[in-house]
């Protein structure tokens, strides 16, 4: 089959047309991949940055952890799924045995593995997926939208970690990539009183404006500008750091009011300095981090929003490309693009 493979611990990937078809095993289904979405982590894996290396990939491996497709084979022991079901995929594989798994925090499993890193992923025509990570899609949801739900779930989880404290609140989002934009979209949907997105890319700032946010570039005056736009000298009620840029954190802490909340979503490529005395202790700011989605209530929340028709993600998709154009697709991630989809069936 056609696939995008990371063969060795160095920059780049390989597009192949003769990768072995997935083997059906107990508890697994084979999915014909309809759409696979790229994210910033895929770019890191392509470039083979230190943060990518920290994932300890099981090479060689088919990349891709955001995808959706149709079940074409069902293995022994599979229950609740059948041929023809349309499914989106959770990307994290949990052990089910460690302390977090046994105490309701499986999203922080001590032995987490990730599709497209530790088992073959969705940048291929077919994938063998454990039944436990398959989420049935409602009839009205396209498979392209299904491929966005893993990333959208990160945004939903971020709002959950802020205790849903966005309704009627002043909300600041750092980073206007797809996850940051969905965080802003959710904040708007839930009735944020003020919503500001800080983003250097003019294209992404325009996207943020389209969903009702005020969008400004980062800079030395970002704190004063944010407070000026909200009309509140005390600062914001909640902030979401979605850029992964360590340099963004000082401004966020300064822009937040006392006893507020900061949720970190992006993964910085290097350690970040935090003034604990000034911001955590004296201002009483609560700092929370997330990784992926909370299993499985984030998915339940996301699917309720999707099924209700209130979660519209079509606007996120800007490009669709065949697997053979993966190099071009990766390049787009740092340019004027929203979600870039690889469509295995596209020529």
CATH of the domain at 218: 3.40.50.720
Does residue 142 belong to any structural domain of this protein? yes
Q: What are phi and psi of 194, to 5 degrees?
A: -135, 140
Looking at the structure, tell me whether residues 183 and 318 fall in a common domain.
no
Looking at the structure, tell me whether residues 28 and 124 fall in a common domain.
yes
Looking at the structure, tell me whether residues 139 and 189 fall in a common domain.
no
Looking at the structure, tell me whether residues 174 and 136 fall in a common domain.
no
Does residue 306 belong to any structural domain of this protein? no
Q: Tell me what pLDDT residue 60 has.
A: 96
268 confidence band (pLDDT: 50, 70, 90): confident
CA dihedral in degrees (270, 242, 33, 122; nearest 10)? 10
Report pTM.
0.94
Contacts of 78 (CB under 8 A, 6+ apart): 27, 28, 29, 131
Percent pLDDT > 70 in the chain is 100
Looking at the structure, tell me whether residues 161 and 120 fall in a common domain.
no
Residues 184 and 162 sit within 8 Å (Cβ to Cβ): no
CATH of the domain at 52: 3.90.180.10
Looking at the structure, tell me whether residues 85 and 194 fall in a common domain.
no
| Separation of alpha carbons 291 and 302, rounded Å | 16
Does residue 294 belong to any structural domain of this protein? no
Query: Among 77-81, 131-135, 149-153, 162-166, which stretch is predicted with the lowest mean pLDDT?
Result: 162-166
What string of H, E and C letters represents the secondary structure of 218-261?
Answer: CCCCHHHHHHHHHCCCCCEEEEEECCCCHHHHHHHHHHEEEEEE
Q: What is the pLDDT of residues 107-160, one digit of tens each?
A: 999 999 999 999 999 999 999 999 999 999 999 999 999 999 999 999 999 999
Residue 21 belongs to domain spanning: 3-148+313-342
Looking at the structure, tell me whether residues 222 and 275 fall in a common domain.
yes
Looking at the structure, tell me whether residues 234 and 104 fall in a common domain.
no
Does residue 110 belong to any structural domain of this protein? yes
Query: Among 129-143, 159-173, 230-244, which stretch is predicted with the lowest mean pLDDT?
Result: 230-244
Does residue 241 belong to any structural domain of this protein? yes
Q: Tell me what pLDDT residue 190 has.
A: 93
Looking at the structure, tell me whether residues 130 and 178 fall in a common domain.
no
| Separation of alpha carbons 4 and 65, rounded Å | 12
Looking at the structure, tell me whether residues 33 and 117 fall in a common domain.
yes
Q: What are phi and psi of 92, to 5 degrees?
A: -95, 135
Q: What is the pLDDT of residues 299-340, one digit of tens each?
A: 999 999 998 888 999 999 999 999 999 999 999 998 899 999
Looking at the structure, tell me whether residues 27 and 106 fall in a common domain.
yes
The mean per-residue pLDDT over the stretch 71-89 comes to 97
Q: Tell me what pLDDT residue 55 has.
A: 93
Contacts of 233 (CB under 8 A, 6+ apart): 227
Does residue 295 belong to any structural domain of this protein? no
Neighbouring C-beta atoms of residue 232, cutoff 10 Å: 15
Which stretch of DSSP H or E encloses residue 159?
helix 149-161
- Please tell me the total count of domains within the chain: 2
Measured CA angle at 22 (ends 18, 24), to 5 deg:
155
The mean per-residue pLDDT over the stretch 275-292 comes to 94
The mean per-residue pLDDT over the stretch 246-259 comes to 91
Looking at the structure, tell me whether residues 65 and 131 fall in a common domain.
yes
């Amino acid at each position: 089959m056609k696939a995008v493979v990371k063969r060795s611990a160095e920059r780049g990937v390989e597009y192949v047309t003769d990768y072995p078809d997935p083997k059906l095993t107990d508890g697994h289904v084979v999915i014909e991949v309809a759409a696979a979405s790229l994210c910033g982590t895929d770019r890191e894996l392509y470039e083979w940055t230190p943060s990518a290396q920290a994932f300890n990939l099981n090479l060689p491996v088919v990349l891709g952890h955001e995808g959706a497709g149709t079940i074409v084979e069902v293995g022994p022991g599979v229950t609740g799924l059948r041929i023809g079901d349309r499914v989106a995929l959770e990307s994290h594989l949990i052990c089910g045995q460690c302390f977090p798994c046994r105490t309701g925090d499986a999203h922080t499993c001590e032995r987490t593995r990730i599709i497209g890193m530790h088992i073959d992923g969705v940048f291929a025509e077919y994938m063998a997926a454990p039944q436990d990570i398959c989420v049935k899609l409602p009839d009205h949801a396209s498979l392209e939208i299904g491929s966005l739900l893993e990333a959208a779930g990160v945004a939903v989880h971020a709002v959950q970690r802020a205790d849903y404290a966005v309704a009627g609140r002043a909300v600041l989002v750092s980073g206007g990539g797809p996850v940051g934009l969905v965080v802003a979209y959710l904040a708007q949907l839930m009735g944020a009183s003020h919503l500001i997105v800080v983003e250097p890319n003019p294209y992404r700032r325009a996207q943020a404006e389209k969903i009702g946010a005020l969008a400004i570039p980062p800079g030395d005056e970002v704190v004063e500008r944010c407070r000026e736009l909200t009309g509140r000298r005390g600062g914001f009620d909640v902030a979401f750091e979605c850029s992964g840029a360590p340099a963004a954190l000082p401004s966020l802490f300064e822009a937040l009011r006392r006893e507020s909340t900061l949720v970190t979503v992006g993964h910085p490529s290097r350690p970040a300095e935090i003034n604990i005395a000034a911001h955590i202790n004296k201002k009483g700011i609560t700092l929370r981090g997330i990784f992926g989605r909370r299993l499985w209530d984030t998915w339940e929340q996301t699917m309720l929003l999707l099924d209700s028709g209130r979660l519209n993600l079509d606007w996120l998709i800007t490009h669709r490309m065949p697997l053979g154009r993966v190099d071009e697709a990766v390049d787009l991630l740092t340019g004027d693009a929203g979600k870039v989809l690889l469509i295995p069936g596209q020529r």
